[in-house]
Amino acid sequence: MSLDVTTDYEPVMGLEVHVELATATKLFCGCANEFGAEPNTHVCPVCLGLPGSLPVLNAQAVELVLRFAEAVNLHVPARSIFSRKNYFYPDMPKDYQISQYEEPITVDGWIEIDGTRIGIERAHLEEDTGKTMHVGGGGRIHEATSSLVDYNRAGVPLMEIVSRPDIRSAEQARAYVSELRAVLLAIGASDGKLEEGSMRVDANVSVRPRGSSELGVKVEIKNMNSLRSLGRAIDSEIERQIGALAAGERIVQETRHWNEADGRTHSMRSKEGSSDYRYFPEPDLVPIAPTDEMRERIRAAMPELPAARRERLVAEWGIGETDARVLVAAPGLAAYAEAAVLVLTDGTPRDVVNWCTGDVLAHLNESGLSPEVLPLAPDGLAELVGLVAGGALSRNQAKDVLDECLREPKRPKQVVEERGLAQVSDVGELGAVIDAIIAANPADADEYRNGDDKVRKKKRGFFMGEAMKATRGQGNPQLLTRLLDERLGNDS
């Protein structure tokens, strides 16, 4: 493929994002909505679809969707209905899925991504299916000897968020998903974990000649389990489609599976015939009709959204947009930083943010913990920042102290004491150390005094090394440099 061809085509994408809502119970019954329990322990006649059972809508799920609607400018019609999507599948207990088709709970919203509005066609409620495990044949369905079904996930509430075809690049797609995730976390609607499947993204990808206003044939891409694979899959699919068009081929409307290993999308085995889901209004449920009081209560209780929070932190703390983005994107991290800043006695919010987006975030990612459960509470981090700012601890020492405080329930001061780490900043004490070193190395001192800049730099390094050795690394480096300059004269 030549570069000319790439610039001659424009990718057009829309994303369908399925989000598992963080409700206490399932969408239509009282079973716990909990990930990772023993198979078939969170089941009842309703979510197993036993004959005679009936669904009852979970009000909390409705509330979470309405919160999302507030966050991304979705319109909430006075009335919406559920529909049945009919198809046979063993992990779907009723052999139909209760979903929304015509008249969804929210329509026509948008979210701003780096100054561009991405339209959201709708966000609706539906139930999740169970999970099938194929036994034998290496877990592949066509070689399996039997299959087992776990219905714990059957009936878990999902919100399906359908974007408009407003996305033009893999980077923008990633930013969109990342921002959705930040919003969902902020409003407490979901933990939004792509890796664990609580957030699942399907991408509809098409390309068209640049300048055209018609949409190309779209291809649906599935199986992307991280933001990284989402970006790679889209780039790979765009490249494939442009390559095909450039070669005079036609794009077939189909579903393709992203393969992380070979970095390509693959056509999925086509289903027998075209699917006809025979949607019709769910007669076992009544329409959803949110009251004005309910909408008002939700509006009043809306938390600060990620975009506003980033803006505020940049303005209040003087931090960069990138730091603000990292801080707000990580669940609970911004709140952690804000709590630390609130009790800060010495140092700046920037210092707090640097620790948070650096060592703290790295530890969170590595341990899988959330900030709320760290052994180091926000006021502990504020204490650490204070120790560095007050000169009691060097940055490198502080790194070690933080590392221990993130693992053990200890205050920074306690670790400093235990390790005897306190930085020496006593002018008299350090002056004596310098004097002793100069006295012990007169030749080096002379070389320094008579040398050019290059020599001086080299010798200063030598003296500093000796001084740190003498103070077991605890000498305040700024102070030592100043004292050394005073003793040896620094007129350069």
Partner 1 sequence: MTGTALELAAAVRAGDRSAVDVVEEYLAVVAAREPELHACNLVTGDSARAAAAALDAAVARGEDPGPLAGVPIVLKDNLCTRGVPTTCSSRILEGWCPPYTATVVERVVAAGAIPIAKTNLDEFAMGSSTENSAFGPTRNPRDPSRVPGGSSGGSAAAVAAGYAPLGLGSDTGGSIRQPAALCGVVGVKPTYGLVSRFGLVAFASSLDQIGPFAATVADAALLLDVIAGHDAADSTSISGVRERVLPVIDGGVDGLRVGIVEELTDAEGIQPEVVAAVETASRALEQAGATVDRVSIPSAVYGLSAYYLIAPAEASSNLARYDGVRYGLRVDGEDVATMNARTRGSGFGPEVKRRIMLGTYALSAGYYDAYYGQAQRVRTLIIRDFARAYEHFDVLLSPTSPTVAFELGAKTTDPLAMYLSDICTIPSNLAGHPAMSVPYGTGEGGLPIGVQVLAPALGEPVMFRTARVLERSVA
Task: Return residues touching partner 1 (CB under 8 A).
Answer: 45, 48-57, 84, 86, 88, 90, 93-96, 147, 149, 276, 278-280, 283-286
Tokens 């939004």 sit on residue: 192
CA distance linking residue 467 with residue 475, whole number of Å = 7
Residues 6+ apart with CB under 8 A from 390: 346
Is residue 194 within 8 Å of 27, Cβ to Cβ? no
Report, in Å, the least distance between residue 48 CB and partner 1: 7
Three-state SS for 338?
helix
Nearest to partner 1 of 56, 252 (CB atom): 56
Specify whether the CB–CB gap between 297 and 66 falls below 8 A.
no
- Nearer residue to partner 1 within complex by CB, 5 or 280: 280
Closer residue to partner 1 (CB): 23 or 83? 83
For 385, residues 6+ apart whose C-beta sits below 8 A from its C-beta are 340, 344, 346, 347, 351, 352, 355
**Burial category of 98 from C-beta neighbours within 10 Å (exposed 0-12, middle 13-18, buried 19 and up):** buried
CB of 156 to partner 1, least distance (A): 18
Tokens for 169? 């690049």
Smallest distance, partner 1 to C-beta of residue 44, A:
8
Burial string for 325-364 (b: 16+ CB within 10 Å, else e) reads bbbbbbbebbbbbbbbbeebeebebebbbbbbbebbbebb
Q: Rank residues 38 and 453 by Cβ distance to partner 1 and give the closer one.
A: 38
Residue 277 CB, nearest approach to partner 1 (Å) = 8
Q: Which is nearer to partner 1, 112 or 284 (CB)?
A: 284
> Phi, psi (5° rounding) for residue 56?
-130, 125
Judged by beta carbon, residue 83 or residue 397, the one nearer partner 1 is 83
| Shorter beta-carbon distance to partner 1: residue 88 or 322 | 88
Beta-strand (E) ranges in 284-403? none
Q: Which is nearer to partner 1, 54 or 427 (CB)?
A: 54
CB 60 → partner 1: shortest distance, Å? 16
Tell me the C-alpha distance between 321 and 314, whole Å: 6
Smallest separation (angstroms) from partner 1 to the CB of 153: 15
Least Cβ distance, residue 138 to partner 1 (angstroms): 17
Per the CB < 8 A criterion, the answer to whether 157 and 30 are in contact is: no
Judging by beta carbons within 10 Å of its beta carbon (0-12, 13-18, 19+), is residue 272 exposed, middle or buried?
A: exposed
Burial label for 197, CB within 10 Å (0-12, 13-18, 19+), is middle
**Least separation in angstroms between CB 254 and partner 1:** 19
Q: What minimum distance in Å lies between the beta carbon of 207 and partner 1?
A: 28
Residue closer to partner 1, measured from CB, 149 or 335: 149
Q: Please, what is the minimum distance in Å from the beta carbon of residue 92 to partner 1?
A: 9
How far, CA to CA in Å, does 128 sit from each of 26, 97, 153? 9, 8, 6
- Quickly count: other Cβ atoms within 10 Å of residue 380's Cβ: 22
Q: Which is nearer to partner 1, 57 or 422 (CB)?
A: 57
Distance between CA 478 and CA 473 in Å, rounded?
Answer: 13
* Strand pairing report for 83-86 and 219-224: unpaired
Nearest approach, Cβ of 142 to partner 1 (angstroms)?
9
Shortest separation between residue 50's beta carbon and partner 1, angstroms = 7
Closest CB to partner 1 among residues 84, 309:
84
> Given the complex with partner 1, which of 97 and 236 has the nearer CB atom?
97
- Confirm if 351 and 321 have CB atoms less than 8 A apart: no
What value, to the nearest 5°, has the Cα angle with vertex 193 and ends 190 and 198?
Answer: 65
List the one residue out of 57, 52, 49 whose CA is nearest residue 29: 57
Pick the closest to residue 182 from 367, 355, 334, 24 (CA basis): 334
Distance in Å, CB of 146 to partner 1, minimum: 10
* Whole-angstrom distance, CA of residue 422 vs CA of residue 397: 9
Cβ nearer to partner 1, comparing 278 with 297: 278
Stated length of the chain? 492
CA distances from 175 to 7, 73, 117, 355 (A): 22, 18, 12, 24
